[in-house]
Amino acid sequence: MLSVGETAPEFSLQNHTGETVSLSDSEGYTVVYFYPRADTPGCTTEATGFRDLFETFQNRGITVYGISDDPLEDLAAFAEKHDLPFDLLSDPDGSVGRAYESYGEKNMFGRTFDGVFRNTYIIDSAGTVVRTFEGVSPEEHAEEILAALEELEA
């Protein structure tokens, strides 16, 4: 996990519509959340939480990016199915996830494989990590992020 005070690694990834999106495109605070797999129960809960509060994020000038190693087609279907209004970014080789210490070896059902860790970062307008959330629970995570942003803005 990156630490508070570190410079957030720059990235340029394709979003679910095929456009290239970069961290430096954001102004103000940016929420970068990593999730393991599009359209699975936990990831859907997390994404729809951000969707349901998206207007609040947007009204405060906060950018939200969801990053996974899913292919663009899966992200497009996920965004359409759940009406997700923020950018879902494809990191197919896990390079951005690795830079954010959010991708690596996982064990599930006796299998070892590389995958995405459910971590979230809040990054300020200068590109500095100001809050970290490791191994988050998808339920009410968007509310948790808004509360942290309120503290930061206070």
Q: What's the residue count for the chain?
A: 154
Q: How many CA atoms within 13 Å lie on the side-chain side of 148?
A: 20
Q: Would residue 147 show up in a list of annotated catalytic residues for this protein?
A: no
DSSP letter for each residue of 50-99: HHHTHHHHHHTT-EEEEEES--HHHHHHHHHHTT--SEEEE-TT-HHHHH
- Which of 8, 23, 31, 43 is the catalytic position? 43
Is the CB of residue 115 less than 8 Å from the CB of residue 69?
Answer: yes
Bridge-based pairing state of the strands 20-22 and 30-34: unpaired
Query: Identity (one letter) of the amino acid at 152?
Result: L
Single-letter amino acid code for the residue at 78: F
- Could you list the active site residues? 43
